[in-house]
Chains A and B, each alone.
Chain A
Amino acid sequence: MAVYKRTYKAYQGPLTPAWSRFTVLSRYGLSTLFDSRPFTAYTVLCFIPFLVGLVLIYVFNSSTAQAILKIGSDHPIVNKFWFLGFLSVEAWMGFLLAAWGGPGMISKDFANHSVQLYLCRPLSRAEYLLGKASVLGILLSSISWVPALLLFFLQAELQGHGWIWDNLWMAGAIVLSCLIGIAMVSLLSMAVAVWVKWRIAATALMFGVFFILPALGAVISLILRTQWGHVVNFPLMVMIIWAHLFRVHPTNPNATGFDVVPLWAAWASALSLCAICFCLLDRKLRAREVERS
């Protein structure tokens, strides 16, 4: 279709591999998110805990730095509690990031009926979801388990003396716990976005699920004199799972309140949320493949 000729010409050139098509969605999704300066600024802000962690680990492992800063030997130890604390901070920052960027990413497609244009191409519903979820996956990974692992390896390098072998399990715990959190937040963010087209309302609903639902659960628990109301407290359920993965026993003073429901209930609650969100997404996507004018 040469411009100067203004005639239609079929494309005869090479095509990209079929498996890589979802990455187009990720690339455009990220590019669209970072078109917003406030969003970019907030994403940069999310790296501050990582930078603080870098400095702290260096200071804790450097006697020279400790002498300069006049820090005694009673400084905190970099251990599972330290990493759990770091991940908790990043998790909340990541939640805000997902609540900000996630709904808009999908609701724009639904608001203007463009879903059918994606799905009439060689792209399945699963690939569409994967592409969109990977935007949040990449963003949240870059501020959670990736920096946490870097800190872990920095600590291992500076500590030496076989610290890494004693704590290698923690690397797995960091990755797994973050992936659970990312899956929950990404799926929730997308599911909310497809059901509530208005981006601000979708963000508000996400806050509702993470803040109002736990309050509701607590009220139910109080009225019915049971602990099961807490299963809708998703942040708490995630923390219970994380505590288990980080081998923090519920009797530990750092894990107060983590024994309100058994571990299996926390897993069931988290997985149920993911499954419900996935079903909602699939149902809505299936319905929007075909738009009626």
Chain B
Amino acid sequence: MPAIIEMQNLTVRLGNRTILDRLTGALSGHCIGLLGPNGSGKSTLINTLLGFYQPVAGGARIFGKEVQSNLRELRAMIGYMPESDAFIADMSGVRFVRYMAELSGLPRSEAMERAHEAFFYVGLGEARYRKLGTYSLGMKQLAKLAQAIAHGPRLVLLDEPTNGLDPEARVRMLQLVREIRDTGEVTVLISSHLLRDIEECCDQVLILKEGRIAALCNLEEERKANLKFLELEVTQGNGFLESVRGLGCECAAFGAGRVRIILPDNIDLRQIYRTAAAHDVQIRRMNYRRDTLEDIFLKAMAGSQQVSAVPQGSANGRL
């Protein structure tokens, strides 16, 4: 899949502080997650992609176009849902979205049509004539999403879309994001500090730490790799680990009978059972331990070096 966003040595400084420090990488996929603790530079990266901040070094490209020199053209292709409240309180929801769609270049009648459709799409159809100032927080978030998609952008930037939402509204918001992603007509970039939001929607994730890339990985490939990731609790048995290694597996013991094994594609689970039986080892517990995004995130936060996308099927270094 071609890269949607490319960053080359992207450095952004605000005042005397370096907020984004030499970011280099290519983001692709239908839904890209932007993770990081507060103050790691997620919103600054989004604002730089929107052209609000000028990089002091390097640059970014969206759809192959340099951001700073093609700002107008790119902004027409981008829908943006900001983190903070952003609305005109005494304007009705549908009028507001129509207004924003017209500013993006849609003719009046099309803007009107798509504003209504966007409101129905996000589930606010019945409330579209109410003034935005009277909306609840969840409704305001959905109205912000409606204005971000009404003009039919190719890239939607969502900055903390589930902020302040109750569990039901959060599920609804993430469902909408997945639906938009699954159409394949638009790329969604979500910035969040909530790992579950990213895990539920994204196929690629960029983790930022103190303005640097802490990890850039393909979640789909990680998930595939982790299906072969075994965690066992066994009784002590001499030679068991050596025999497992002999099968071609990578494994490590952690004491108290805990063993982690990476199964290569050609090894069947039954061979592990047979090996255990041969060594008179009881398997007391076995599970496919999934290397969650949380693990990846914590690992990225702990280490300062950049973790790049893991090749498909490989889980080297996971033990």
Taking a contact as CB atoms under 8 Å apart, the answer to whether A113 and B106 are in contact is: no
Q: Do the beta carbons of A111 and B89 come within 8 Å of each other? A: yes
Q: B158-194 interface mask toward A, CB cutoff 8 Å, 1 = contact, 0 = none?
A: 0010010000000000000001100101100000000
Beta-carbon contact of A112 and B114 below 8 Å = no
B103 with A24: CB separation less than 8 A: yes
* A208 vs B90: C-alpha distance when bound (angstroms): 28
Q: Assess whether B84 is interfacial by the CB under 8 Å rule.
A: yes
CA distance A224 to B4 in the complex (A): 67
Task: Decide if B85 is an interface residue (CB 8 Å cutoff).
Answer: yes
The docked-state distance in angstroms from the alpha carbon of A16 to that of B121 is: 24
Interface string of B25-64 (1 = CB under 8 A from A): 0000000000000000001000100101100000000000
B290 is an interface residue with CB less than 8 A from chain A: no
CA of A288 to CA of B21 in the docked complex: distance in angstroms?
24
Closest to B154 in A: A10
What total of A-B pairs shows CB separation below 8 Å?
A: 125
Q: Does B105 contact A (CB under 8 A)?
A: yes
Known: A1-B118, A108-B90. A291 touches B84 (CB 8 A): yes
A99 CB to closest chain B CB (Å) equals 19
In the complex, per-residue mask of A75-118: 1 if CB is within 8 Å of any chain B CB, else 0: 00000000000000000000000000000000011011110111
Q: For residues 18 through 39 of chain A, which have their beta carbon under 8 Å from a beta carbon of chain B?
A: 18, 21, 24-25, 28, 32
Docked Cα-Cα span, A111 to B91, in Å, equals: 13
- B75–A122 touching, CB < 8 Å: yes
Asked if B107 is an interface residue, CB under 8 A from chain A, the answer is: yes
A113 touches B105 (CB 8 A): no
Flag whether A73 is at the interface (Cβ < 8 A): no
Q: Is B117 among interface residues, defined by CB-CB distance under 8 A?
A: yes
B149 is an interface residue with CB less than 8 A from chain A: yes
Q: Shortest beta-carbon distance, A14 to chain B, in Å?
A: 7
A116 to B82, CA, bound (A): 8
- The interface residues of chain B lying within 8 Å CB-to-CB of A119 are 52
Note all chain B residues with C-beta closer than 8 A to A21.
103, 105
A69 at the interface (CB under 8 A from B): no
Range of interface residues on chain B? 35 or more
The answer to whether B82 and A121 touch across the interface, beta carbons within 8 angstroms, is: no
Q: Taking the nearest CB of chain B, how far is it from the CB of A38, in angstroms?
A: 15
Q: Which of A8, A25, A114 is most buried by chain B, counting CB atoms within 10 A of its CB?
A: A8
Residues of B within 8 A of A109 (CB): 88
B5 touches A (CB below 8 Å): no
Contact residues in B for A116 (Cβ distance below 8 Å): 80, 82, 86
Q: How far is the CA of A249 from the CA of B47 in the complex (A)?
A: 56
Q: A1-B121, A12-B152, A108-B90 known; A113 and B75 CB under 8 Å?
A: no
Cβ 8 A contact of A6, one of B106, B116, B121? B121
Asked whether any CB of chain B lies closer than 8 Å to the CB of A51, the reply is no
Query: A165 an interface residue at 8 Å Cβ cutoff?
Result: no
A2:B117 contact, CB within 8 angstroms: yes
Query: Do B82 and A117 touch across chains, with their CB atoms under 8 A apart?
Result: yes
What's the Cα separation between A7 and B210 when bound, in Å? 38
Residue in chain A with minimal CB distance to B116: A3
Closest to B180 in A: A8
Expressed in whole angstroms, the Cα–Cα distance for A293 and B180 within the complex equals 25
The answer for the CA separation of A291 and B252 in the assembled complex, in Å, is 49
CB contacts (< 8 Å) of B53 on chain A: these are 290
B151 interface residue (CB < 8 Å to A): yes
Shortest Cβ gap from A291 to chain B (Å): 4
Is B105 in contact with A18, judged by CB distance below 8 angstroms?
Answer: yes
Chain B nearest CB from A166 CB (Å) reads: 47
Closest A residue to B48 using CB positions: A290
Which residues of A sit under 8 angstroms from B152, Cβ to Cβ? 1, 9-12
B62 to chain A, nearest CB (A): 13
In the complex, the answer to whether A7 meets B103 with C-beta atoms within 8 Å is no
Asked whether B218 is an interface residue with its Cβ less than 8 Å from the other chain, the reply is: no
Q: Select from chain B the residue with minimum beta-carbon distance to A20.
A: B105
Query: Which among A10, A32, A290, A292 is the interface contact of B186 at CB below 8 angstroms?
Result: A10
The CA of A7 and the CA of B147, in the complex, are separated in Å by 16
Contact of B185 among A6, A9, A120, A290 (CB under 8 A): A9
Residues of B within 8 A of A113 (CB): 82, 84-86
Q: Are B117 and A3 in contact (CB under 8 A)?
A: yes
Is B240 interfacial (CB-CB < 8 Å)? no
Residues of A contacting B100 in the complex (Cβ-Cβ under 8 angstroms):
117, 121
A219 beta carbon closer than 8 Å to chain B: no
Residues A118 and B103 in contact in the complex (CB < 8 Å), given A1-B114, A3-B120 = yes
Residues of B within 8 A of A (CB): 43, 47, 50, 52-53, 72-73, 75-76, 78, 80, 82-91, 99-100, 102-107, 110, 114, 116-118, 120-121, 125, 147, 149, 151-154, 160, 163, 179-180, 183, 185-186
A sample of 24 cross-chain residue pairs with beta-carbon separation below 8 angstroms, ordered by A number, consists of: A1-B152, A3-B121, A3-B125, A7-B183, A9-B185, A12-B152, A13-B106, A16-B102, A16-B107, A24-B99, A24-B102, A24-B103, A28-B99, A108-B90, A109-B88, A112-B88, A114-B87, A117-B86, A117-B100, A120-B50, A120-B78, A289-B47, A289-B52, A290-B53
Q: Which residues of A contact B (CB under 8 A)?
A: 1-3, 6-16, 18, 21, 24-25, 28, 32, 108-109, 111-114, 116-124, 289-293
